[in-house]
């Protein structure tokens, strides 16, 4: 985890970026897999949220603007998947709280990354589960 106040070199930033993206891709695959049972998805989601809180979100903040925006889009994608989980009250609550913080953050880039991810989700999916969940 990056220390506060210490700058990150380009190489360190690239390594962190790839680590974040790899984790997010794996998390998304697990959360959307049809072969993973519901109770297993709850356990997986719990661990994903813990890793997001302890490592992914702090490391995303340490990236430069270009890599940070791309990483935020991947993090938003997984967070939206967690939001759509059934019977995962704690994880869905975390996702709602996190998304609300991102939307309130006027100075940060999270709002734009989240909006970008939602636009892509709506344009790709005929009836996205997120829309069903919200309505």
- Can you give 43-96 as a three-state secondary structure string? HHHHHHHHHHHHHHHHHHHCCCHHHHHHHHHHHHHHHHHHHCCCCCHHHHHHHH
The region of weakest confidence among 5-9, 42-46, 99-103, 120-124 is: 5-9
pLDDT tens, residue by residue, 76-112? 999 999 999 988 999 999 999 999 998 887 767 888 8
Q: Is 42 exposed, middle or buried (0-12, 13-18, 19+ CB in 10 A)?
A: middle
pTM attached to this predicted model: 0.82
């Amino acid at each position: 985890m990056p220390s506060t106040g210490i700058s990150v070199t380009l190489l360190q930033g690239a390594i962190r970026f790839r680590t974040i993206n790899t984790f997010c891709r794996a998390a998304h695959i697990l959360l959307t897999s049809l072969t993973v049972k519901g109770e297993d998805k709850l356990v997986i989601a719990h661990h994903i949220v813990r890793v997001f809180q302890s490592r992914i979100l702090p490391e995303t903040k340490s990236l430069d603007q270009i890599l940070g925006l791309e990483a935020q889009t991947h993090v938003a994608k997984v967070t939206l998947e967690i939001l759509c989980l059934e019977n995962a009250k704690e994880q869905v609550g975390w996702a709602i709280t996190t998304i609300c913080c991102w939307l309130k953050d006027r100075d940060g880039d999270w709002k734009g990354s989240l909006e970008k991810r939602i636009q892509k989700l709506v344009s790709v999916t005929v009836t996205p589960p997120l829309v069903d969940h919200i309505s």
